[in-house]
Structure 1
């Protein structure tokens, strides 16, 4: 697969304070990668370097086969900030036409872009009347100009309602299916848990974890939780059969190590008519994020 972004031992300091230290990361076409970290972890610094807005001190950065900030990289990279700003007196259609002309492209493509982000119905309304979610859609329409190979998105769903968030991620899924790479910074961990291919966790400028969610779960080795529901009248018998479980009515809560998950499931399955239902709850992304952040000494 084509590599759209490669960071090799990237380092950046501000007045002697290290913002990024030896960060290495690559994105292939069609990949959706979530960038997680506390405030000050280095996410914004990394994005600014990728966009060519600030220099870096060490390592190497290649963006769509070119140097960050070069004409080739700018042509093929799009950016959507957390809080987009547009002229309130312009309509959505006028704003996108303006950006198309700035990029030297046909202004007639504006309506098609607005349709793609679900704003055709409000194309002739002034942006000053738009909700935040609608303004974010204008920003995404602007970002889609020129069919970018890499999209850098900074908290793109901040302030959006649940339906708008769902629609936004559905659009990102479509872009990834067409081959665009997506680097997404977010604090909404439950969102990115199911809508990204890989996860990167930064802490104090260091990449403390990287990989698929399943890889991070194995690396964190956090306990697996299970909820076992007893059949009517079998709660006491089930509790006696699972002495390590905590009972709440007819539901028992049990935790075990990752390596013990399958033996524990086999043990519960062997209880037969005592069990009405079983739910396995693997560590969430929030649990994993907290684990790796604390491991780095936060």
Structure 2
């Protein structure tokens, strides 16, 4: 089931086009990453989905409802990059307040704070929280009401590596239960492994979308192999792979996707000289930089 649909969405600010004819859909249980440089149109797109601003052209639908309508608001949760709360309130008091606003029992506050790892800090004032802890409060409020659509803007900002891993595990659980997730992030190494589809914006236009595999195929960037010779076999490995360059005791070379089987065959034939090897596909950082430069 499609939860979020954007059809030929356009937004202008005077002579500047912030979004131009962007179409996109997010299905139930799907995790979609929205990538783009600052000014690419990500924030404008999210504001349009949330009903905070109105489009100059095209349509937005949340499970068939207009953004900003009572039903759409009930179905949607939002976590901004810099979540701000009253510093004098405790985490528990703040979440209880949000529960009242959403018409939910305040008794759910403890469960929500436990879920985001703030159970032990629930009765501390938010003014004593770190940025990462405040971000967790924001995530707790976003979980109120079991939303069908979550809009997340740089959601792991301020979180340490362990907290980031826990955050994405929670997103996996939400997606498994049918929540559609649209998130923007500059932390591409995180997005690479924890999203189903990637959308890249540039200058207000959608330049590409697809799985990481789709984007790798589109970018057609080379793979990299690193070879670690057995003791005393460096010269033989260099002779077998003259295109490789020595780096920190290993021999490294790039090759096209179409050459992968040939390269693997050459490595197998040199098994007596090679202790170990690794093949590295282009990272999402590499792919994003390549596609964005072509769109510039």
Fold match by TM threshold 0.5: yes
- What SS does the aligned partner of 1:273 have? coil
Pairs within 5 Å for 1:180-195:
180-195=179-194
Q: How far 1:271 sits from its partner (Å)?
A: 1.6
* Alignment match, 1:108: 107
1:230 correspondence with 2:233: no
- Between stretches 48-57 and 158-167, larger displacement belongs to 158-167
Pairs within 5 Å for 1:154-233:
154-233=153-232
CA distance in 2, matches of 1:191, 1:288: 14
Q: How far 1:62 sits from its partner (Å)?
A: 0.9
* Alignment match, 1:242: 241
1:89 correspondence with 2:91: no
Pairs within 5 Å for 1:121-136:
121-136=120-135
CA distance in 2, matches of 1:88, 1:156: 20
Q: How far 1:199 sits from its partner (Å)?
A: 0.8
1:78 correspondence with 2:77: yes
Alignment RMSD? 1.0
CA distance in 1, matches of 2:253, 2:123: 57
Contact persistence 2:226–2:251 (CA under 8 A): yes
Q: How far 1:130 sits from its partner (Å)?
A: 1.0
* Alignment match, 1:253: 252
Divergent runs of 4+, >4 A: none
CA distance in 2, matches of 1:183, 1:110: 25
CA distance in 2, matches of 1:249, 1:89: 54
- What SS does the aligned partner of 1:272 have? coil
Instruction: Provide the TM-score with structure 2 as the length reference.
Output: 0.98
- What SS does the aligned partner of 1:59 have? strand
Q: How far 1:249 sits from its partner (Å)?
A: 5.6
CA distance in 1, matches of 2:237, 2:106: 69
* Alignment match, 1:31: 30
- What SS does the aligned partner of 2:272 have? helix
- What SS does the aligned partner of 1:151 have? strand
CA distance in 2, matches of 1:262, 1:132: 48
CA distance in 2, matches of 1:32, 1:175: 10
Q: How far 1:31 sits from its partner (Å)?
A: 0.8
* Alignment match, 1:291: 290
Contact persistence 2:135–2:158 (CA under 8 A): no
CA distance in 1, matches of 2:182, 2:54: 19
1:99 correspondence with 2:98: yes
- What SS does the aligned partner of 1:4 have? strand
CA distance in 2, matches of 1:60, 1:135: 34
CA distance in 2, matches of 1:156, 1:28: 20
Instruction: Provide the TM-score with structure 1 as the length reference.
Output: 0.97
CA distance in 2, matches of 1:296, 1:102: 43
Give ranges in structure 2 of 5+ residues lacking alignment. Answer: none
CA distance in 2, matches of 1:38, 1:84: 21
Rate the CA distance shift 1:248–1:55 in 2: closer, same or farther, 3 A.
same
Contact persistence 1:235–1:249 (CA under 8 A): no
Q: Alignment length, in residue pairs?
A: 296
Rate the CA distance shift 1:256–1:128 in 2: closer, same or farther, 3 A.
same
1:210-251 Cα distance to aligned partner (Å, 9 max, x none): 111111000100011110111111110111111111123641
